Structure 1
Amino acid sequence: MAAAAKPVKVLLAGDVGGQLPALLKRVEAVNSKSGPFDLLLCVGGFFAPGGDPDAEPAADLRPYLTGEAQPPIPTYFLGAYGNGSRAALRALSAAGGASGLHYLGRAGVVEVKGLNVAFLDGRRRPPKPRPLPPPPPQQQEGEPGGEQQQEQQPPAAAEEEAGPGCAYYSPEDLESVKRDLAELAGDVDLLLTCEWPDGVLGALPADQAAVAGVQHGACAPAAAELATLARPRYHVAGGQGVFHARAPYTNPDLGAGPRATRFIGLAHVGNAGKQKFLHALGLAPSASQSPEQLAAVPEGATASPYQQRREGKRAAEAGPDDGGANWRWQAPKRPRGAGPGAGGDGGPPGAPATAWGNAGVAKDPASTIFVKGISFSATLADVEGLFSQAGKVVDVRRGVDDHGRPNSWAHVQLESPDAAAAALRLDGGMLLGRPLSVEPSNQGARARPAAPAQPVEGCWFCLSSPDVDVSLVASVGDESYVAIDKGQIAPTHALVVPIEHYPSLAALPPAAADEVLRYLSSLRAAFAAQGLQLAGFERHLALRSKGGNHCHVNVVGVSPDAAAGAREAFERQAEAAGFELEHVPPKGGQLDRKAPAARVQQLAGSGEYFLGLLPDGGALIRPIRRGERLPMNLGRQVLAGLVGAPERADWRACAKAGPAEEEAEAERFKAMYKKFDIMAQQ
């Protein structure tokens, strides 16, 4: 547990609406009476509504923009739209930090006074005006209405998006904050939005659900989506002009315990109804809290209103025959054991996978072997045909996982212990182009991989997650897959990811680890065909707020000259951050998983670590101990430097223009990799 920290005293304000002097006067009074407070956070529209965003800022605002006048406490705001908003932001930028006013930005996650603050500025863009109907037939001369009808045009947007500020958030803004949330190692203390989240008043008792003055049509699905992903301790929003503090609700447990969220909607500053527009909090940073403290559920907490809404929507969309499938590449799963029974093979190609096994056969461990490495496309007849060389096959027991995918292992029972002993000689034999591992069943039971973590909702790497971008995936194996990175450093930048939610390369069970290494070897060959060499990294983070880290290995192709300096580049970047990396030499010209994995486990146990992959097949390792902070971007900084594009270390600099460009980049990578894809070779 981190050292105890005193609470950060925060003031929260609703829509300022251009009345900054009035707000600061109130803040000064509250600060004198109940302070000192550490900061003021403003949500909702900060500037006077409407008008020209390029107009001269109001006279009473100008001194705060230039730094001539200072707010009583550091002030951070969203709502950079309205009269004079763009001109004000330009003035703030010109002040160069002299002002005590700070614009948080369009979207992202920042640390303020030790608090993790996620935010999304702007409002949902209103729908475009419906096009006018076509003009009527040509009017006869002298008849009224013809010219007037044709001259009507849809109204122009009141605020354009050019320049600073954020009248309306974009899909790219949403992706930006989602990416920041995915990379955040800790919990979100505060989520700030300019709109109430859609559905926030759901899951409340009937006598508490009604809040006067709320315009439900102005509540935003985007804000609800971010609240679901971030699981913040507090979600603060403006935009409705009313005050409401919702009963706390619990977010789903993603593996690190539940999280409770309190939603606070704030009224406009100086509203006629005298509704509350200023709210005070004393909030200890989540980094200083124990897992038990963060997982505590307050009395009276309700279920998540968004989860309830989402489940209802899914049920409505699924229909009666859907079967609850959510795996993106697989047919709908059926209950375990719902297969055709002995002799069946799970149905025709494309049918849902079903478990194999004959319930009428008494289990005989002495006559049973444990088989690993079975392709998920293998049928029961394929397995029986191979092992019938050793004797009569009595039963094949092969299960399916929670997504309906067949397991890569099975128990094969033969007619006698002698037949089972003969079957052991098939160890290393090929089935559908894949080598099999064959062991006695008692040994196999001990060696069998531990059940992986359950898929995590909202995880960017779990294939069961609706957030996975299928278009970026280049190859799917039995245990892992290859995809291009959404923020590619170079056209060869790819990720190798286990399908199941394992936390790190060192923690992978043998079958998954072997396939990941096969993928890395195939990528090494694909890069070599381009005259490049492979460099990469893995950073294992013990994420508490997202069900734990999902292992992913970054790789990129680098020139031979850059490859020669890769080790030095990693070591130099780590040294600049105050860390020293341990070198693990290559074995046989490729990364030997056992060597770095054993060294990582020896140095770090199950803790965090950084692993650099070198072009010669060697590795660099550094455990990250409690209290140490290895820069999140260290691996990307090294790879970006090796490809000669250091500015692309920040993934934001790598954002594509839109989905079409991302898909085109993915298709180019697939074409380059297709010849070397391990799945294409089976």
Structure 2
Amino acid sequence: MSKFQKVLVCGDVNGQFDELFKRVSSVHQKAGPFDLLLCVGDFFAEGANSQWTPYKTARIKVPLPTYVLGPSKEGHKQHYSDLRGCELSENVIYLGPSGIYPSSSGLRIAYLSGRQDTPAGLAGYTNKKVEELEVEGKQQGIIDILLTSQWPSLVTSYASKPAEGCDVEAAGCGLVARLAHSLKPRYHFTAGLNTYYQRLPYRNHQILQEAPQHVTRFLSLSAVGNSDKKSKWLYAFTITPAVHCSTAELVVQPSDVTEGPYAVHKLPPLEQEGSGINQFFYGGAEKKGHRGKKRSAESQDNNREKRLPPKPTGPCWFCLSSPEVEKHLVVSVGEHIYLALAKGGLVPHHLMLLPIHHYQTSLDLEKQAHAELNKFKSRLREMFAESGRAVVFYERNYRTTHMQLHAVPLTQNKATRVAQVFTEAGEEHGLPLEELPRHTELSAAVQSGQPFLMVEPPQGPTLLHRVKKGYNMRFDREVLASKDLLNLPERVDWKDCMSSRQEETENRDNIRKIFKPFDFTIDSDDGPDDDSSDDS
């Protein structure tokens, strides 16, 4: 997998979704593939936004993962189910008021939605909130991309040409300028003035006084649909995340670089109160642990990396708080992950590990959830090993909206055959599976939002198939049910394997009893009791 990312950025969309996604699809096909689309400025228009409905309902598919900023006008608010961050539709994510997006590619994207001192109920920011983002940014390391709804003041200082047709100092914001000066992003994108402006790159260090640092490139994009050919509203570029670059690569100074535009004495001062961590996304107050103990300092630091998960745009069968969840299948509940029987499982002890909240794949999980997922997997291996069995884990991200990691046990004498059987079946069906190098995380091979099938055999390397159009959704079950493994061809289709609710409940009670010696959540007050009755 290449470490560089191909990124598209657009200005204010203002409800012009058809024109936006038509152009993006065209560029994606001709010059792509691109990895993501970033939208700065206003995504919605004030009014009906009639073009939005087919994208919201997924009748028309958004061509690639799209990330947008928050509502700065009252008429926009109705389209955001949660102002702290949410999924607006399939492939369209509202990042939130402010924060740093933890991309699985390593790309660090900082964002600041809305305008300064926006009324309550809309995305906006204060001096204090900007300070919190500055603190968080410095903890994260080099910021690759900064997205802001407002222009920074002073940005045209030392530039070879001013921004034509707009009064930057009247429209610009001193707090955004201070944020840009503090974070030193490699790219800074904004919109809002319906003009295209690309400033010459500027230095982030003082010559002969400081060690060389990377430069910043500032761009403002016009509104989508602007007919002036000089007013570009879609910008494409390629970037290698800073975490994958050497210092020598990062500090290269282009020939047209200028001095930095932000004179410190002209920037707004910090508030004198103690700075904290962004309250929209990061834990500020000390919380109680899973078993009533205070979290360690390390755990509190990890909380800073948390951001609220996107909320489902419709009913979800797997969000634990959803009324659609069949809670009688639940075996064990952790802080972030829960264990449940698979409905229509291949074998009686076919299990699933699922996030409590709405995450599409394991790539999207926060750090602590990943750790708990791995802990569950380790305990399941121990449990099955005690009865002379091994376990195959697999995850498919194709036509699913909530992560499901399946755990299917099989006899030890079949364990050595799993990788070979999957590989041979893949070759036969034109679905090549590649081996991930040892100690390589899935996130290093596939990006969030990209369809995939991941198989962890009991022995041998993890296998990965990059799903393309026309994928056979039963492939994983067909291989496991084949005569070379489980030899249960009649159980390929889960709908043919349905049991009654009473049978499912009895099976759940049985697996709870077996899992009890290995269940690290058993001391939790909110974990399921062994003698709990059938949940309705």
TM-score by length of 2: 0.49
The structure that has the greater radius of gyration is: 1
* Larger RCO, structures 1/2 (Cα 8 Å, 6+ apart): 2
TM-score by length of 1: 0.39
